[in-house]
Each structure stands twice: as C-alpha cells, then as structure tokens.
Structure 1
Amino acid sequence: MSEPWPTELRISKDRKNMVVTFDTGVSFDLPAEMMRVLSPSAEVQGHGPGQKITVPGKRNVCIKAVVATGNYAVRIAFDDGHDSGIFTWRYLFELGERGDALFTAYEQELAEKGLSREPKIR
C-alpha cells in the first residue's frame, strides 16, 4: 500500500488554518498554532531524545508562506519568524489523524510547566 499523497493544500483567508486533501479522499483542517508548536524542526523537536521544546504563546500565529520541498514535503513559514519545519506528506497526514491527541498532550505540557498558549503582551 502506498503512502497517502496530497492532492490539494489550501490556506484559509485568515491564514490560521491549512486544509490538506489526500488522494485517499480525506481532508484535514490543520490549525496554524498546532503545526507551529508541533513543528518537526530541530528548533522544536531538539537534536535528540529528551530535547523537545514546549513552545508557548502561539495561539494567534498565522501561516506566512508554504514552499514546496522536493516532491515529499513543504516548508511552512509562520508570522512569528519560525520557518525551519519541513512537513512531510506523512507528517501532515499524521497531524490530521492524531492532531487532537497531540495538541491535548501539548496543552498538558504547557500546564505542567506553567506556560500559556497566549502570546506575551509587549
């Protein structure tokens, strides 16, 4: 069985969501905040086991740009300056299938660390 392949990527007008449609017929509406805080980048995931960073304050983050990376992924740039995450088709599909559970775990990490989804007021 082959991996699901995206047939459409669409950014919402407010730039807070990306809808990904796959050749399996399923579509996922992925929030920018979720993709930002669960970015596959080394900046978020770290360079090895136990180095993952819990990123606070991204409730209002928006998608600035989506750039193709070969034929296997896209690099998503966010309006907070983060632009190093390479989102493979497989990872986007995983975020669609498991995103709610992953985001719930993220919210629990925030609470445990006394952090918030709300951006710091300057």
Structure 2
Amino acid sequence: MLAIERAIRRIHTAVDAPRLTRFALHAPKCVEVGFADGSVFNLPAEFLRVNSPAVDGKIRSMGGEKVISGRRHVGIMSAEPVGNYGVRIVFDDLHKTGIYPWDYFYHLGSNKFTLMKNYIKILKKHGLSRDPPRRK
C-alpha cells in the first residue's frame, strides 16, 4: 500500500503545481484551494469524491473504467492533514481512504471542466446516474 501511495505522489508531483497558499474546507459542500500563481479553485464534494486518489471497494469497474455513481449529494465531514503534502478527506458516505496531495488539487482544479464532462459521459455510457438510488 505504501508503494502505491508513493507512486501516486510521484505522478502528482510531475504536474509541477505552484505552491499551495490557501486551503479552506466549506463542509459539507466543497474545498477551496489557492495557489501561488493566483489560481483559486472551488472543488465540490461530489467532484472530489469521484476523483478520489484511493482504491475504493465501492467502485464499479466497467470495461476498465473507474465508475462511481450516485454521489451527487455526498458531503465532506472533515479534512485531516497528512504530513506536509496533503489531506485525507472524510466523506459522509464513509469513504476516507483518499489522500489528496496539494498538487493533485491543482490538477483537479485545472482540469475540472474536462474531468466532470468525462465523468458524466461515463455514467451515461453505463446507464448510471449522479443521483443516489431510490430507497424502497
């Protein structure tokens, strides 16, 4: 597991993100991050949850694609610092294994539109929804 985390960190540091200057948790809705280059990103809970860097047992793999559905109303319960390189976000669906390095926030913010568009496209392709399944 440690080797995987190191590999993820190595991948994310290749982004060459500017230094993080601001991190604000606006629970349960979003995280706001700011960087030394002046970039400020507001990252909603659903977006962070479906782009979690963790390997998660609740993920459906369909045709090799990572598919997480039904998270439109997920909320953020807390964000816990991990070393000096990122945070662990705890979501109200009890997902808490994702460690988000600062540079990964920059990647997510810089590519938010494309990542969200691709997420919705994958859900449609597999007949899934952003909304949680209805309770019976």
TM-score, reference length from structure 1: 0.87
Query: Structure 1 4/30 Cα, relative in aligned 2: closer, same or farther at 3 Å?
Result: same
Q: Partner of 1:8 in structure 2?
A: 22
The code of the aligned residue for 1:32 comes to A
Describe the superposition over 1:13-65 as per-residue Cα deviations: whole angstroms up to 9, x where unpaired: 5x211110112221100011001001110117x8xxx7553000000011111
Long gaps (5+) in structure 1:
none
**How many correspondences in the alignment?**
116
DSSP 3-state at the match of 2:69? coil
Query: Structure 1 75/99 Cα, relative in aligned 2: closer, same or farther at 3 Å?
Result: same
RMSD: 1.8
Contact 1:4 1:89 in 2 (8 A): no
Of 109, 122, 126, the residue aligned with 1:113 is: 126
Contact 2:32 2:43 in 1 (8 A): yes
Q: Partner of 2:92 in structure 1?
A: 79
Runs of 4+ in 1 over 4 A off after TM superposition: none
Contact 1:63 1:77 in 2 (8 A): yes
In structure 1, how many angstroms separate the alpha carbons of the residues matched to 2:88 and 2:129?
26
Long gaps (5+) in structure 2:
1-15
* Percent of pairs with identical residues: 39
Q: Partner of 1:24 in structure 2?
A: 37
